[in-house]
Structure 1
């Protein structure tokens, strides 16, 4: 059993900056996504910081990273820095997400300006 969300992700997606935990269980992405879905914001942020420290690359699949940001923002809806970080991630992965990214950037600016 994995002791953290990040450890579970390392087993699924690998990690070149640290050692992959040696566990001897079968891995199913579905179980990881379930764990991610109910993780608290701090645990998700640790996952993002450790496995995707630079928005351009990282060990997490794009859809997992975007889901992680969405879940964090649902738990922390008033943090402009997180909104900008999520927007930056979305902008890097095609025009399909540009409108959502722009909305996050506008919302972050509005929060900072007190609107």
Structure 2
């Protein structure tokens, strides 16, 4: 069993920046287990995973669907964090026009939170 969400994601998807530790379950992990663990992770654990596996926002092997879910869960936990809202918006912009409207709404929300 993996001790962190980052370790589980690294084992399941790989890591562009570092080696993947040997795992006795390698190849047997199910994405549903990762999604369940992500769903109940706290904000710090999710941020640690994103910062480790996708440090430049446009990189990493974490699938877009997992990255979007991670940001969504982060925003539910930290709805008033403008920097985090902007990072989520930037991620959406980078991964296709389907989410551009949502990304713009997020950017407006971040600006409104920072307005005097």
Name the structure 1 match of 2:112.
110
Please list the CA deviations of residues 4-52 of structure 1 after superposition, one character each: whole Å capped at 9, or x if unmatched.
0000000001113222121102211110000000000000000000001
Question: What's the TM-score once normalised by structure 2's chain length?
Answer: 0.95
**Residue in structure 2 matching 1:101, options 81, 103, 106:** 103
1:51 paired to 2:53: yes
Question: What's the TM-score once normalised by structure 1's chain length?
Answer: 0.96
Name the structure 2 match of 1:14.
14
- Extract unaligned runs of 5+ from structure 1: none
**What RMSD in Å do the two structures reach over aligned CA positions?**
0.8
Name the structure 1 match of 2:44.
42
Tell me how far apart the structure 2 counterparts of residues 40 and 91 of structure 1 sit (CA, whole Å). 25
Name the structure 1 match of 2:65.
63
The alignment covers a number of residue pairs equal to 114
**Residue in structure 2 matching 1:82, options 81, 84, 87:** 84
Runs of 4+ in 1 over 6 A off after TM superposition: none
